[in-house]
């Protein structure tokens, strides 16, 4: 009986270590790369500009399909991603940002319900342009209001 439980315990310990490291990895990147919008309050049709400064030693890359997603605060601290249509083409690694470089995205605020929003930005680290995009981490912008 003991011989059967030891491997299970070891596997559970290893899984919890791997999960803890991946959470820490994502949090540490979030602290180092902070996407910032140009305003705190927007109306439908306004230009939203987001600035991302890569302060890492690593290169970060974005999706060719959806480099960012709008999320709405459903209730205090609970965020809900908006639905997007499937990508019309294969989702590839597109624009990359070298260390210490800055990137701006610009979009018009679409017709959305009034409320508190943020942008969710999937990234891969040190990946090669043109390959299939698989996000390794997600960054979140500051919160902003759409009125």
pLDDT for 27 equals 46
Residue written as token pair 């230009």: 47
Q: Which ranges of 1-146 does DSSP label H, i.e. alpha helix?
A: 2-32
d(CA 94, CA 130): 6
pLDDT for 129 equals 85
pLDDT for 4 equals 65
What CATH number belongs to 33-146?
2.60.40
Residue among 42, 50, 47, 65 nearest 112 (CA): 42
- Tell me the helices (H) and strands (E) count for the chain, helix number first: 1, 11
Integer CA distances (angstroms), 21 to 56, 65, 68, 71, in order: 18, 28, 25, 26
pLDDT for 26 equals 47
d(CA 11, CA 5): 10
Residue spans per domain, the chain: 33-146
What's the pTM? Answer: 0.75
pLDDT by residue, tens only, the chain of 147 residues: 566 666 677 666 766 666 655 554 444 454 568 899 999 999 999 999 999 999 989 999 999 999 999 999 999 989 999 999 998 999 999 889 999 999 998 999 999 999 999 999 999 999 988 899 999 999 999 999 999
Residue 23 sits at φ, ψ, to 5 deg, of: -65, -45
pLDDT in tens, 96-116: 999 999 999 899 999 999 999
Residue written as token pair 């989702």: 91
d(CA 27, CA 42): 28
Residue written as token pair 């003991």: 2
Asked if residue 93 lies in contact with residue 61, where contact means CB atoms within 8 angstroms, the answer is yes
pLDDT for 119 equals 96
């Amino acid at each position: 009986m003991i011989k059967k439980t030891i491997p299970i315990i070891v596997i559970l310990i290893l899984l919890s270590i791997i999960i803890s490291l991946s959470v820490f990895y994502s949090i540490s990147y979030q602290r180092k790369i902070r996407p910032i919008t140009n305003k705190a309050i927007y109306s439908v049709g306004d230009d939203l500009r987001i600035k991302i400064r890569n302060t890492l030693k690593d290169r970060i890359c974005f999706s060719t399909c959806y480099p960012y997603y709008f999320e709405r605060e459903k209730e205090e601290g609970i965020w809900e991603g908006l639905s997007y249509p499937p990508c019309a083409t294969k989702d590839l690694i597109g624009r990359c940002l070298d260390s210490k470089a800055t990137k701006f995205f610009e979009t018009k605020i679409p017709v959305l319900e009034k409320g508190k929003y943020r942008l969710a930005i999937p990234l891969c680290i040190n990946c090669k342009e043109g390959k299939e995009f698989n996000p390794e981490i997600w960054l979140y912008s500051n919160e902003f209001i759409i009125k």
